[in-house]
């Protein structure tokens, strides 16, 4: 006797599969990372990230308009800082006419309703490629947090809607939140990289911004003293809960695919939006495999972003955002 319930009835054709689908991807799910460089007329493809570009401010305008037309309403800005402006303390980050500050204004001028989030970290500005100030061969925490608060104020003054601290210094969310409140930026949000792991998947991103840690004997060669050990799970929950207590409005897990268990753990524990970052290495791997003909690019791309949302991500920061939305349309 056959069973009364046959689960395959709900898989018979695309119409029924679409009707009962549990996880739906839309343009509203995405946060688009953008890389900015000095100069004019520059749209520079990143070698390790095929079909992804660094933009000068004049061409950034057109890219922002194109994103908005596709229904992509949120961007996350990163800047590639010239070497001559880098130092140990990230001084250039506070320049009111710096590249990040001008990039924020550019986006807001061309598309006032675009949500602008900004990377808050020292590594693009550091002569050593680290997310903190270095003293006596150590990345010092509290002074770095204070500097990140100043950087956040500068971004808010330029018009940023959210600041996104990606450094993993202890206590920096509270320091930033208090500084923003003191300066009257009560509506400037914080998206905290709460569970950012010391991952090998960041290589192409560091190429894009020329921000890899330098190899010198007297300083750390990696970021393992502040980014999380990828073997740890419960630590991610502790970090995230602390950030929420300190004032984070959105929390993020980074990277994505290898950390979907962490996304789900955090989603089950917190009551704020959870973001995930589909990082440069994840992007590069699929692009390379598709170029070789080993994987179906679009099918795998959609499977990956769906998995991230299914795992509990409310927001997906992804270099695939434009590709996904074009495919959906």
SS3 label, residue 254: strand
Question: What's the rounded Cα separation, in Å, for the pair 138 and 128?
Answer: 12
DSSP of 265-297 = HHHHH-SS-EEEEE-HHHHHHHHHHHHTTSS-H
- Tokens coding 59: 């061409």
Question: What's the rounded Cα separation, in Å, for the pair 140 and 143?
Answer: 6
Q: For residues 144 and 172, is the Cβ–Cβ distance under 8 A?
A: yes
Residue of 43, 65, 223, 254 marked catalytic:
254
Question: What's the rounded Cα separation, in Å, for the pair 140 and 136?
Answer: 9
**135 bridge partner residues:** 138
Residue of 196, 223, 267, 287 marked catalytic:
196
Give CA angle at 275 (272, 277), nearest 5°.
165
Q: With the CA atoms of 14, 256, 259 and 230 taken in that order, what torsion angle do they form, in degrees rounded to the nearest 10?
A: 160
**36 bridge partner residues:** 55, 79
Does the annotation mark 73 as catalytic? no
Question: What's the rounded Cα separation, in Å, for the pair 95 and 151?
Answer: 9
Q: For residues 135 and 219, is the Cβ–Cβ distance under 8 A?
A: no
Does the annotation mark 196 as catalytic? yes
Question: What's the rounded Cα separation, in Å, for the pair 44 and 284?
Answer: 16
In this structure, what DSSP letter does residue 9 have? G
Residues designated as active site: 196, 254
């Amino acid at each position: 006797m056959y069973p009364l319930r046959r689960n395959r009835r709900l898989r018979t054709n695309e119409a029924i599969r679409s009707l009962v689908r549990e996880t739906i991807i839309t343009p509203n799910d995405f946060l688009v990372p953008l890389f900015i460089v000095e100069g004019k007329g520059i749209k520079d493809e990143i070698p390790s990230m095929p079909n992804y570009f660094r933009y000068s401010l004049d061409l950034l305008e057109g890219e922002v308009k194109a994103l908005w037309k596709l229904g992509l309403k949120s961007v996350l800005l990163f800047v590639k800082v010239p070497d001559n402006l880098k130092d140990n303390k990230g001084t250039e980050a506070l320049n009111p006419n710096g590249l990040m500050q001008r990039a924020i204004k550019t986006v807001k001028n061309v598309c006032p309703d675009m949500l602008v989030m900004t990377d808050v970290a020292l590594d693009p500005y550091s002569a050593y490629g680290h997310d903190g100030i270095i003293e006596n061969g150590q990345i010092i925490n509290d002074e770095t947090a204070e500097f990140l608060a100043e950087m956040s104020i500068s971004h808010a003054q330029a018009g940023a809607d959210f600041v996104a601290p990606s450094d993993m210094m202890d206590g920096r969310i509270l320091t930033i939140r208090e500084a923003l409140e003191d300066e009257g930026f009560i509506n400037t949000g914080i998206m905290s990289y709460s569970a950012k792991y010391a991952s090998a998947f960041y290589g192409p991103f560091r190429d894009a911004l020329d921000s890899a840690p330098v190899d010198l004997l007297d300083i750390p060669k990696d970021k393992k003293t502040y980014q999380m050990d990828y073997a740890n799970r419960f630590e991610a929950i502790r970090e995230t809960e602390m950030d929420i207590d300190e004032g984070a409005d959105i929390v993020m897990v980074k990277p994505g695919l290898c950390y979907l268990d962490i996304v789900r753990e955090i989603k089950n524990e917190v009551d704020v939006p959870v973001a995930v970052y589909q990082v440069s290495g994840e992007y590069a791997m699929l692009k390379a495999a598709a170029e070789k003909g080993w994987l179906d690019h679009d099918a795998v791309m959609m499977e990956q972003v769906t998995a991230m949302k299914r795992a509990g991500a409310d927001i997906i920061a992804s270099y695939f955002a434009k590709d996904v939305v074009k495919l959906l349309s």
